[in-house]
A and B are shown apart, each in its own frame.
Chain A
């Protein structure tokens, strides 16, 4: 294997990492803050893709505006989900996992009933469908867009969690819910907002993935396990998920250049299981994180 194809794999790895990270961002926030294992996350991604499709197809909204609009729509869905179901289950972590799986079935079949099982496509501006050449490597422009959006979102989340009052409240509730509540923080409200935020991030991921792949009712299922593993390997913190996605994305890309994509994914899964055996708390453990 020569140097240029290795570099190529590394650059592709950054792109894979950004895709995995943006799929995992919403989950990181929901799991990190509320300890909820949201099995419906993949379907929230799928809803994001479909809301972009709807806005584009029926209202003719330009693609770049569809991304924030999907955020709002899916965040509202997440809000309804939290108020209607999840908030009753915070003290039963295994049951949130099961209930959200029920939600994912309902969402998947509901979308299939409304839109049918035939694939939909999102139209993007002409400029996104070209390739950018970086001398030795070439990468599609849209992957760079995903990378940029991911970087932007991570920065925004960092600002939100570490520079605002709301962020302080979230981190306080994360560390000790009862203590935070006795200092006058409305923990229920914090959970509700973080859940909506996490769902909205899934919506953004969906509107991007809808371009990368086709829009299907079942598209979410392929992302959810991967996204979970990023969160768990990272330990549930934002920095952890960034690091976990970065490392696994690069490894996936490098392994795939030796063998193929599927076998590379198998190696990644096994490595993750081995890694978590020795470090169950993940890369960056949080203070007082629940298990």
Chain B
């Protein structure tokens, strides 16, 4: 018997248990505020998952995931804002304050909920595909790519801050009513909203897991380990990198939409450098090489921030920073690697007869 951690069946069972636990939550929690909070953790989980896919499996450290998240969130917020505008009142109030007398071109597609939703998802994904394509084609990689994403993130942050008449500036957008989809209002504090996020999180996780197990996923992992060798074998490294980066961006864009649905708010703070870096922290602490570990990392850190944050309000960032340094220094693969070595220990201590007969276990003295 090998390490249980690497057993695919065991991994799928772990996924099943994890999502079963998440599915029990709305049945047992009555507090609608708490349920809304749990749902936002689900969004953070999706972000950590997207980082894990891109960084853990693709080896592309993306410090600008806030771009995809933020653009998705803005698209969704614009859609929701337009849902509450009527014939007699066709322009969002903040535009009137900025002396715009007609709806700008940028906003017109968002008058239709369907088009708005598609744009909210497609625009960030397209951006990732184009930006990633350009960068990876130029063989920009490693820390250098991380800095480029940082620069791009800062660019988006400044432009959204600056174009106040179109984006609401530093105040952002606060759609006044809940999201309506196909005639149904999705109250952010209802179990329905939780289930929407749950389904997207589960869907994204399963898709990501299938990707990592496919031959495509194997090639991306090979690129992570040694891009040059993979290139010499005739694979299009840039192509693989662009695709994994784009999928990761797509997940983040969906997360952005879900987030606005839950909190009815978006501001440039969602494109702030520190938010994108906290996504990386979640994945790093949970374990970037494990999809489930990253999601767990997001739950752990955000949960701790909410609950310990009140007690250790002043020292929370100190604790987080210190913990993060320790993880990077001593546990580069995060908490999941603890589980991995723990299960590994179990596997070597009690080798099963099957493993011995396979011949890959060391000869054991007679017992």
Partner-B contacts on A (CB < 8 A): 37, 85, 88-89, 92-95, 97-99, 101-106, 108-110, 112-113, 221, 225, 228-229, 232, 260, 262-263, 265-266, 269-270, 272-273, 276-278, 280, 291
The complex places the Cα of A109 from the Cα of B315 at a distance, in Å, of: 7
Secondary structure of the B contact surface, majority rule: helix
Interface residues of B in 131-167 (CB under 8 A from A): 134-135, 138-144, 146-148, 150-152, 154-155, 158-159, 161-162
- Chain A residues within an 8 Å CB radius of B364: none
Contact indicator B140/A276 (Cβ below 8 Å): yes
Contact indicator B322/A102 (Cβ below 8 Å): yes
The complex places the Cα of A225 from the Cα of B318 at a distance, in Å, of: 22
- Chain B residues within an 8 Å CB radius of A102: 321-322, 324-325, 328
Interface stretch among B22-30, B272-280, B346-354? B272-280
Candidates B142, B155, B161; contact of A93 at CB < 8 Å: B142
- Chain B residues within an 8 Å CB radius of A93: 142-143
Using an 8 Å CB-CB cutoff, how does the interface string of B284-314 with A read, 1 for contact, 0 for none? Answer: 1000000000000000000000000000001
Q: What are 27 pairs between A and B in contact, CB < 8 Å?
A: A37-B147, A94-B142, A98-B280, A98-B281, A98-B324, A102-B321, A102-B322, A102-B324, A105-B318, A106-B325, A109-B316, A109-B318, A112-B314, A221-B274, A225-B154, A229-B151, A260-B162, A262-B158, A263-B159, A265-B158, A269-B151, A272-B151, A278-B138, A280-B139, A280-B140, A291-B141, A291-B144
Candidates A89, A98, A110, A266; contact of B284 at CB < 8 Å: A98
Contact indicator A269/B155 (Cβ below 8 Å): yes
| In the complex with contacts A105-B320, A109-B318, A277-B161 CB distance below 8 A | no
CB distance from A23 to the nearest CB of B (A): 14
- Chain B residues within an 8 Å CB radius of A110: 318
Contact indicator A270/B147 (Cβ below 8 Å): no
CB distance from B57 to the nearest CB of A (A): 14
Q: Which 3 A-B pairs have the closest CB atoms?
A: A105-B321, A269-B155, A109-B317
Counting CB contacts under 8 A, is B332 at the interface?
A: yes
- Chain A residues within an 8 Å CB radius of B140: 276-277, 280
| In the complex with contacts A105-B320, A269-B152, A232-B144 CB distance below 8 A | yes
CB distance from A30 to the nearest CB of B (A): 13
Contact indicator A106/B139 (Cβ below 8 Å): no
The complex places the Cα of A276 from the Cα of B280 at a distance, in Å, of: 24
- Chain B residues within an 8 Å CB radius of A277: 134-135, 138, 140
Contact indicator A99/B142 (Cβ below 8 Å): no
- In the complex formed, the residue of A with least CB distance to B272 is A221
Contact indicator A291/B142 (Cβ below 8 Å): yes
Contact indicator B321/A104 (Cβ below 8 Å): yes
CB distance from A223 to the nearest CB of B (A): 12
- Chain B residues within an 8 Å CB radius of A273: 148, 151-152, 155
- Chain B residues within an 8 Å CB radius of A232: 144, 147
Counting CB contacts under 8 A, is B121 at the interface?
A: no
- In the complex formed, the residue of A with least CB distance to B150 is A225
Contact indicator A103/B321 (Cβ below 8 Å): yes
| In the complex with contacts A232-B147, A291-B144, A97-B61 CB distance below 8 A | yes
Candidates A101, A113, A225, A266; contact of B162 at CB < 8 Å: A266
- Chain B residues within an 8 Å CB radius of A266: 155, 158-159, 162
CB distance from A243 to the nearest CB of B (A): 18
Candidates B150, B151, B284, B324; contact of A105 at CB < 8 Å: B324
Contact indicator B332/A105 (Cβ below 8 Å): no
Counting CB contacts under 8 A, is B362 at the interface?
A: no
CB distance from A144 to the nearest CB of B (A): 28
The complex places the Cα of A101 from the Cα of B138 at a distance, in Å, of: 27
- Chain A residues within an 8 Å CB radius of B161: 262
Contact indicator A221/B151 (Cβ below 8 Å): no
Given contacts A99-B324, A103-B325, 4 further A-B contacts (CB under 8 A): A99-B325, A99-B328, A101-B324, A273-B152
- Chain B residues within an 8 Å CB radius of A95: 328, 332
Counting CB contacts under 8 A, is B329 at the interface?
A: yes
Contact indicator A89/B329 (Cβ below 8 Å): yes
| In the complex with contacts A94-B143, A262-B162, A106-B328 CB distance below 8 A | no
CB distance from A56 to the nearest CB of B (A): 26
- Chain A residues within an 8 Å CB radius of B142: 93-94, 291
Using an 8 Å CB-CB cutoff, how does the interface string of B92-109 with A read, 1 for contact, 0 for none? Answer: 000000000000000000
Contact indicator B158/A88 (Cβ below 8 Å): no
- Chain A residues within an 8 Å CB radius of B314: 109, 112-113
Interface residues of B in 320-367 (CB under 8 A from A): 320-322, 324-325, 328-329, 332
Contact indicator B325/A85 (Cβ below 8 Å): yes
- Chain B residues within an 8 Å CB radius of A229: 147, 151
The complex places the Cα of A51 from the Cα of B253 at a distance, in Å, of: 42
- Chain B residues within an 8 Å CB radius of A101: 277, 281, 324
The complex places the Cα of A278 from the Cα of B148 at a distance, in Å, of: 13
Contact indicator B158/A97 (Cβ below 8 Å): no
The complex places the Cα of A93 from the Cα of B328 at a distance, in Å, of: 12
The complex places the Cα of A99 from the Cα of B332 at a distance, in Å, of: 10
CB distance from A105 to the nearest CB of B (A): 3
- In the complex formed, the residue of B with least CB distance to A262 is B162
The complex places the Cα of A52 from the Cα of B138 at a distance, in Å, of: 44
CB distance from B241 to the nearest CB of A (A): 15
Contact indicator B315/A113 (Cβ below 8 Å): yes
The complex places the Cα of A225 from the Cα of B152 at a distance, in Å, of: 10
